[in-house]
Structure 1
Amino acid sequence: MNLISNNHLDELDLQILDLLIKDCRTPYLEIARICHVSGGTIHVRMKKMEDLGIIKGSRIILNLPKLGYDVCCFVGIYVDKTSSFNYVFDQMSNIKEVVELHLTTGDYSMFAKVVCANILDLQNVLLNKINNIDGVQRTDTFISLSQPIDRNISLE
């Protein structure tokens, strides 16, 4: 994929993105200093990338176990028919423990990342929330034991 021609990005844009991927709190003036351009140039480039939809905001990364969420799992969801997908998406978006939802190929219709305080909470989410959604035929759950790789993307 050629980001430069497809999205009207040049090498400076890619350099800015790479710096922000490494630390999204880097001040624009620091980025300007590193890139040898003015702070105004960085503001203009950031606005352009936001307008193009390349940058969709910024987010904080939480240490979930320190907040009491000790269980992370992945739930493969079988949806009974294609016409149920939108309803299932809407219902899944109301479950606060679901932090990601992906439409997938393969054995599952959807794959969800779920975080819970403990196994009893996970049981409640599975039995009383996800499996109670009309259109969900059944689920398979995979508990994450650890996350040895947590990689941010890089444009280098």
Structure 2
Amino acid sequence: MTINATIHLDELDLQILDILIKDARTPYLEIARVCHVSGGTIHVRMKKMEDLGIIRGTKILLDMPKLGYDVCCFVGIYLDKASSFSAAIEELTNIKEIVELHYTTGEYTIFSKVICKNIAHLQDVLLNSINVIKGVQRTDTLISLSQPIDRNVQL
């Protein structure tokens, strides 16, 4: 498989990534056993993929409702003009409730995923954090009712 012109992954690399996508906490020796190679080989391959930027660290996945954050929504943000983009992104980056931000084509300039404790918290974020940013013309909010699929891309 070719990721781009300079990065080539072989079947072992893809097998390692597939195992880690399913469970990022899988020990190297377990990966080695499944792949029929040594633990040292797995270590070398992991280091290579980290150095190439294919693996960019690890994340902990939190159950947000159990932590009191019951509202997940998506906010489409319309900017008044393209030149407002950089300054708006800088401000949006400082809003801790925004957990994803995408520069998009289509109807919205920016599409964000926002996690809040409740509707009152969401209203506060919209009115006092997002809509007050210079260049934000208006927003469109879609509340997620459930998330039946939550997975990484399968290789």
TM-score range, shorter chain: over 0.9
Aligned-partner Cα distance in 2 for 1:129–1:3: 38
Q: Name the residue aligned to 1:137.
A: 137
Structure 1 residues 116-125 or 78-87, which shifts more?
Answer: 78-87
Superposition TM-score, scaled by structure 1 size? 0.95
The reply on whether 1:13 has 2:13 as its aligned counterpart is yes
Q: Are 1:80 and 1:136, in contact at CA under 8 Å, matched by a contact in 2?
A: yes
Aligned-partner Cα distance in 1 for 2:6–2:113: 31
CA apart distance, 1:2: 3.5
> What is the total number of aligned residue pairs between the two structures?
155
SS in structure 2 of the partner of residue 105 of structure 1 = coil
CA apart distance, 1:56: 0.5
CA apart distance, 1:147: 0.8
Aligned-partner Cα distance in 2 for 1:28–1:107: 45
Q: 1:4/1:94 Cα in 2 relative to 1: closer, same or farther (>3 Å)?
A: closer
Q: Tell me the amino acid that sits aligned with residue 77 of structure 1.
A: I
CA apart distance, 1:81: 1.3
Aligned-partner Cα distance in 2 for 1:130–1:5: 39
Aligned-partner Cα distance in 2 for 1:68–1:134: 31
Q: 1:27/1:4 Cα in 2 relative to 1: closer, same or farther (>3 Å)?
A: farther
Residue segments in structure 1 that go unaligned for 5+ positions in a row: none
Please tell me the root mean square deviation across aligned C-alpha atoms, in Å: 1.4
SS in structure 1 of the partner of residue 25 of structure 2 = coil
Superposition TM-score, scaled by structure 2 size? 0.96
Q: Are 1:4 and 1:10, in contact at CA under 8 Å, matched by a contact in 2?
A: no
Q: Name the residue aligned to 2:152.
A: 152
Aligned-partner Cα distance in 1 for 2:89–2:81: 13
CA apart distance, 1:145: 0.7
Cα displacement string for residues 61-116 of structure 1 (whole angstroms, at most 9, x for unaligned residues): 11000000000000000011111111111111100000000000001000000000
Q: Are 2:2 and 2:8, in contact at CA under 8 Å, matched by a contact in 1?
A: no
Structure 1 residues 57-66 or 146-155, which shifts more?
Answer: 146-155
Residue segments in structure 2 that go unaligned for 5+ positions in a row: none
